[in-house]
Structure 1
């Protein structure tokens, strides 16, 4: 399933800092940030469990993450 989120991640450095944990969450899924988009989009191609785990992780890092429908 593909999920799309508006985030407060605005730099490649922050993406790099998040990468190792996101890679652990998404062993079988895919994720990417589009920092060129004004909403700093995060796209997830994952299961629902991974989606929920990702939201929890980002919030624990004080990162805004709002699902777009």
Structure 2
């Protein structure tokens, strides 16, 4: 079963999306992800069947991004 995890981030530009993509693509278990630059919270949505919110938050904060759960 695929879960949709939703996060508030500071990924607010194409450059930062590219930087985050380099990290997210290294994780197994992500089916699809997207970032809404139009939203004031720069919402990241991750579809996964294996990962937890903590996994995503840990990965992105270690990479220097702000990332908080919106669920």
Per-residue CA deviation, residues 4-53 of structure 1 (Å, 9 max, x unaligned), is: 11111111101112212211214551111101111000001113525432
Instruction: Show structure 2 runs of 5+ residues with no match.
Output: none
Instruction: Show structure 1 runs of 5+ residues with no match.
Output: none
Q: Which of residues 41, 50, 68 is equivalent to 1:66? A: 68
Separation in structure 2 between the aligned mates of residue 18 and residue 63 of structure 1, nearest angstrom: 8
Report the TM-score when normalising by structure 1: 0.82
Report the TM-score when normalising by structure 2: 0.80
Q: How many residue pairs get matched?
A: 69
Structure 1 stretches of 4+ with a deviation exceeding 4 A read none
Separation in structure 2 between the aligned mates of residue 24 and residue 49 of structure 1, nearest angstrom: 12
What is the RMSD of the two structures over their aligned residues, measured on CA atoms?
1.8
Considering fraction of residues, name the structure with more helix: 1
